[in-house]
Amino acid sequence: MILQVQDVTKRFGGLQALTEVTFDLPEGQILGLIGPNGAGKTTLFNVINGVYAPNRGKVIFRGEDITGLPSYEVARRGMARAHQVVRPLTELTVRENVMVGACFGREGHSLGLAARKADEALAQVGLVERADQPSGNLNVAQKKRLELARALAARPYLLLLDEVLAGLNPSEITPMMETIRSIRDEGITILMIEHVMQAIMSISDRIIVLDYGQLIAAGKPEEVANNPLVIEAYLGDPDMTARLMAE
């Protein structure tokens, strides 16, 4: 297993954000993480990659206990993350933004080699022709791809994707899904949060579901979509429930 999350619990004062969350992620898979708004999905990502230390439980990455390590140490070990809200360094070019990932990732490249690694990552996501443009000039879909390229330049073994499809229109979602599949096919394991149900159900090998900070279901997409606990969790959102049931 490339990632093992064991009984992870996280509290913020009186708020119980995560309660004894446990799951494994085999190497080479895409694992989808879904749940209603406020279920604790991003908090779980923050615990996994070192933004927060859990109050209890462990995070094991590639056989090493990384619980409570800061994010930069986790990145050095080969875990990268693409965030939901994309904030590129607008004073830098597209290439320079991606070079940041190469410099502070697993291999810790010098600037010269980082530029080459950045161009490789930009080619992976289809942005190489915009390498010299200011990153602030990109549209939403391009900024999403820039965020993905920056994470890829870190040369991760495991990639955390936090709603990379959010804000994209249908014509942009399909090519982004193809890019994600190609990343997995190159040997990078992926854990992704997503609210676009048709996409997450079609791209994931397995799905896990959080509700009120608790893991309520895990399995193949078709199993999860028909799980009564999952359907009940989404009943407060009729549109989401309809999309889930459509799968």
Query: Which pLDDT tens digit goes with each residue over 171-193?
Result: 999 999 999 999 999 999 999 99
Phi then psi for 37, rounded to 5 degrees? Answer: -55, 135
pLDDT digits (tens, 9 = 90+) for 138-168: 999 999 999 999 999 999 999 999 999 988 9
Domain positions in the chain: 1-78+158-164+188-247, 80-156
Fold classification of 1-78+158-164+188-247 (topology level): Rossmann fold (3.40.50)
- Of the candidates 220, 226, 219, the one whose C-alpha atom is nearest the C-alpha of residue 247 is 226
Residue 98 is predicted with a pLDDT of 96
pLDDT digits (tens, 9 = 90+) for 53-105: 999 999 999 999 999 999 999 999 999 999 888 888 888 999 999 999 999 88
- Of the candidates 160, 204, 20, the one whose C-alpha atom is nearest the C-alpha of residue 224 is 204
49 has a pLDDT exceeding 90: yes
Q: Exposed, middle or buried by CB within 10 Å (0-12, 13-18, 19+), for 2?
A: buried
DSSP 107-174: S---HHHHHHHHHHHHHHHT-GGGTTSBGGG--HHHHHHHHHHHHHHT--SEEEEESTTTT--HHHHH
Neighbour tally for 38: CB within 10 Å: 13
Q: What angle do CA 139, 144, 146 make, to 5 degrees?
A: 90
Phi then psi for 49, rounded to 5 degrees? Answer: -100, 15
Whether the CB-CB separation of 54 and 60 falls below 8 Å is answered with no
- Of the candidates 76, 28, 22, 68, the one whose C-alpha atom is nearest the C-alpha of residue 48 is 68
Residues 135, 86: Cα–Cα separation, whole Å: 11
Residue 242 is predicted with a pLDDT of 62
Residue 105 is predicted with a pLDDT of 87
Residue 240 is predicted with a pLDDT of 64
